Amino acid sequence: ALMVNNKEAGTIKAPGVFKNELTEPLRVGFDNLKGDQRIMEYPDTAFFMRANLTNAKLETLAPVSAAAIAPKTGTVDQTITIKVVKDVMKFDKQVINVKAGTTVRLIVQNPDFMQHNLVLIKIGTLKTVGAAADKLAQDADGAKVNYVPKMPEVLQATPLINPGGKYTLTFKVPATAGDYPYVCTFPGHWRVMNGTMRVTK
């Protein structure tokens, strides 16, 4: 049914969208970011619409297979677990401390209701990578690349992690000391969902 000013303007009968039960979770939510938190240009006031959509596209993503998880080979000097804070759009650790040149196993857990990823980037490139991630929101293939921009500023990245899922990254820490941001590059998330990997000698 199409409602205009809370009055029914028209109805139509249609077959069910899904004939079988879904086996994968769907990302749901209401993104109404304001001010400089907006993904693109739109008024700060929310606009609600209840309607049937035509020619709409719905894409479901398969869960990450065990084979896609980084292999646990070689010596790991440190294991760190980072969790998404449920319903808050933040990571539970704002800073993680690691030694330059060591091997780290990073376990990212997502108990939230929507997909998230974690992308480790070069020092001082948060806004640059964030802006590139926002542009992927308008790219039909954005989800296929997990909203991870293809640019030299990106050092490591997980795929989009489904609700209730986790992913393991095993990598060598850069040799240069400094503060390396990590961020969720799902469009719009990077402004609030980020932290720092502090590398020391």
CATH of the domain at 167: 2.60.40.420
| Separation CA 6–CA 71 (nearest Å) | 55
- Number of structural domains found in the chain: 1
**What is the model's pTM?**
0.66
Among 2-6, 59-63, 145-149, 177-181, whose mean pLDDT is lowest?
59-63
Q: Each residue of 24-37: pLDDT tens digit?
A: 555 555 555 555 55
Q: Each residue of 73-100: pLDDT tens digit?
A: 579 999 999 999 999 999 999 999 999 9
Residues near 148 by Cβ (< 8 Å), separated by ≥ 6? 117, 119, 133, 154, 157, 185
Domain assignment present for 118 = yes
Domain assignment present for 88 = yes
Domain assignment present for 174 = yes
What's residue 122's pLDDT? 98
Domain span at residue 77 reads: 67-200
Domain assignment present for 159 = yes
Domain assignment present for 38 = no
Domain assignment present for 145 = yes
| Separation CA 43–CA 108 (nearest Å) | 34
Domain assignment present for 9 = no
Domain assignment present for 32 = no
8-state DSSP, 161? B
